[in-house]
Amino acid sequence: MAKYQAYAEYKDSGVEWLGEIPSHWDLRKFKHHFRSAMGETILGADLIEDGKLPVYSATEGDHFFGYVNSSSVVLEKGDFVIPARGNSIGFPKLVVTTSTCSQTTIYAKMHKKIHSKFTFYYLLGCKPYLFQFVQTAIPQITVEEVKNNHLVHPSLEEQIQIANFLDHETAKIDHLIEKQQQLIELLKEKRQAVISHAVTKGLDPNVPMKDSGVAWLGEVPEHWVVSKLKYIKSHGHNAFVDGPFGSNLKSEHFVEDGDVYVIESNFATTGNLEPSNLKKITTKHFETICRSEAKGGDIIIAKIGARFGSSSILPILDKKAVVSGNSLKLTVNCKICDVNYANKLLQHLKNEGAIDDGVNGSAQPALSLGGLNTLPFLLPPLDEQIKIIQSLDLKVSKIDQVISQAKKQILLMQERRTALISAAVTGKIDVRHWQAPMVAEADTELSA
């Protein structure tokens, strides 16, 4: 914030977290300007596809929950909706059209003039201090807390100036964040393209090719074997199995001091595993479902859910483990197939949609062992598989480093955005003399 000047004179606000404010600013309670109450009880069954009133809920973002035709709570442009619980608790939503809100939110209707956009930025910039969660089973904020929150009050002219300044500056930051997000998506696409090419075409661009006989595979290196997934599994017992069915593994089986980990499908989709967060069962119960045991080096595949078909290699753990009912376990025959190559090829098959051929026809789509067993699977010679993985590790690592740097840049810009908003709405910086750049200058700023 070094580029911005402070105000000439300050006074103690009397609020510890707020500290000093400009000497000509007032401090009021939120209820001085807004009438607040809980939203109306609106259930999913009450919603219609296209009604007169869109419904705000405690979901993240500004999108609507659905529509109703009438409500005892009618909000107008410039009012506020504050999620009282859920992931977006305390994040203000500035109402942009005639609407209503659900019982998971607190609404605030203006009854004494104050600039809505300035208030929005104030609520956003001071959120950590304004909304202290009530620590119940479900954390929530209360109407009384909202009503009695402190609200700074510069002149209306100054409120408008601060809001205009923040509109401009946050738009610049948001534009830069969007460019970094676009870069990340392009890098992810490049990452997948590098993997896909390596596991289906190999590393030698001059190798003779042949028709694979599989439409979505096209041509493959002539010396590669077009096999099926069932032929790469280990010859051992229960090499390719699903998790326990239904009542064989339920929440009542989980114990705090269990001896056996339960590996769920979220590991397959993320590749992240923290043993201390895993559910556990007793050895006694494990013995009844040991068919679904998973060991370090096995591939865990998500069986159901939005990311079915995603896969990750299970690391070596300090306890035995079983896969849950929403997962599959594949033990690869290491004499003919490298497990890292197998996992990369599975990820390619997922990305191409080929793994959908292994989905059963039930109401909730799920991968079936029978369908996956017949999935086409490419087998280069084992030494070539290892070379492919070594090459991919190097190339993918470089791409991941750039992605990591882009994510760090986004985080820094988000932190700057938050700090700038907080500084402006609490009077730590003086923007009264700020002027919006001309259109040509603004375009130059955004394209920089």
pLDDT digits (tens, 9 = 90+) for 248-271: 898 889 999 999 999 999 999 999
Q: Is the pLDDT of residue 57 over 60?
A: yes
**pLDDT greater at residue 155 or residue 350:** 155
Q: Is the pLDDT of residue 358 over 80?
A: no
pLDDT at position 409 is 98
Task: Band the pLDDT of 133: cuts 50, 70, 90.
Answer: low
Question: Tokens for 359?
Answer: 């989905």
Q: Is the pLDDT of residue 346 over 80?
A: yes
- At a CB cut-off of 8 Å and minimum separation 6, what does 157 contact? none
Question: Tokens for 186?
Answer: 């392009």
Q: What is the mean pLDDT of residues 212-234?
A: 94
CA distance 35 to 374: 64
DSSP one-letter string for 241-286:
EEPPPGGGS-GGG--TT-SEEEE-HHHHHH----GGGSEEE-HHHH
422-438 residue pLDDT tens? 999 999 999 999 998 87
pLDDT at position 1 is 64
Q: Which of 100, 97, 80, 95 is nearest to 39 (CA)?
A: 100
CB 211 within 8 A of CB 200: no
The domain at 225-379 falls in which architecture? Alpha-Beta Complex (3.90)
CA distance 277 to 297: 20
pLDDT at position 63 is 81
Question: Tokens for 241?
Answer: 């199995």
Weakest-pLDDT range from 26-30, 48-52, 114-118, 261-265: 48-52
Residue with tokens 């490298």: 338
Question: Tokens for 93?
Answer: 């939503």
Q: Is the pLDDT of residue 203 over 90?
A: yes
pLDDT at position 87 is 76
pLDDT at position 206 is 96
CA distance 301 to 355: 11
Angle at 124 between CA 122 and CA 130, to 5 degrees: 80
The reply to whether the predicted model has a pTM over 0.75 is yes
CA distance 256 to 290: 20
User: Mapping DSSP to helix (H, G, I), strand (E, B) and coil, where does residue 76 land?
Assistant: coil
Residue 184: how many CA atoms within 13 Å on its side-chain side?
14
**H or E segment at 236?**
none
Weakest-pLDDT range from 137-141, 170-174, 349-353, 389-393: 137-141
Residue with tokens 């595979």: 217
**pLDDT greater at residue 441 or residue 152:** 152
- Write the CATH number of the domain with boundaries 10-171+410-447: 3.90.220.20
Residue with tokens 């948001």: 174
CA distance 149 to 123: 10
Q: What is the mean pLDDT of residues 49-57?
A: 90
pLDDT at position 412 is 98
In the chain, CATH 3.90.220.20 covers: 10-171+410-447, 225-379
pLDDT at position 371 is 86
- At a CB cut-off of 8 Å and minimum separation 6, what does 238 contact? 291, 292, 293, 331
CB 150 within 8 A of CB 34: no
Task: Kindly state the percentage of the chain with pLDDT values over 70.
Answer: 94
Q: What is the mean pLDDT of residues 375-384?
A: 95
Angle at 70 between CA 66 and CA 74, to 5 degrees: 85
- Give strand pairing partners of 34: 110
Please report the beta strands in 266-349, taking only residues with DSSP state E, as ranges in sequence order.
279-281, 293-294, 299-302, 311-313, 320-323, 327-330
Residue with tokens 């077009």: 226
67-112 residue pLDDT tens? 999 999 999 999 999 999 877 889 999 999 999 999 999 999 999 9
Distance between first and last Cα of the chain: 20
Q: Is the pLDDT of residue 419 over 90?
A: yes
Taking all residues of the chain, what is their mean pLDDT, rounded to a whole number? 91
- Give strand pairing partners of 359: 367
Tell me the backbone φ, ψ of residue 259, rounded to 5 degrees: -100, -5
pLDDT at position 369 is 87
How far CA 227 is from CA of 212, 224, 389, in Å, comes to 10, 9, 19
How far CA 68 is from CA of 46, 51, 76, 161, 365, in Å, comes to 7, 5, 15, 37, 32
Task: Kindly state the percentage of the chain with pLDDT values over 90.
Answer: 77
Sign of the dihedral defined by the CA atoms of residues 96, 102, 105, 111, in that order: positive
**Pairing status of strand 26-29 against strand 150-153:** antiparallel
Q: Is the pLDDT of residue 3 over 70?
A: yes
- At a CB cut-off of 8 Å and minimum separation 6, what does 52 contact? 67, 68, 69, 70
Q: Where are the alpha helices (DSSP H) in 361-381?
A: 369-373
User: Mapping DSSP to helix (H, G, I), strand (E, B) and coil, where does residue 220 land?
Assistant: strand
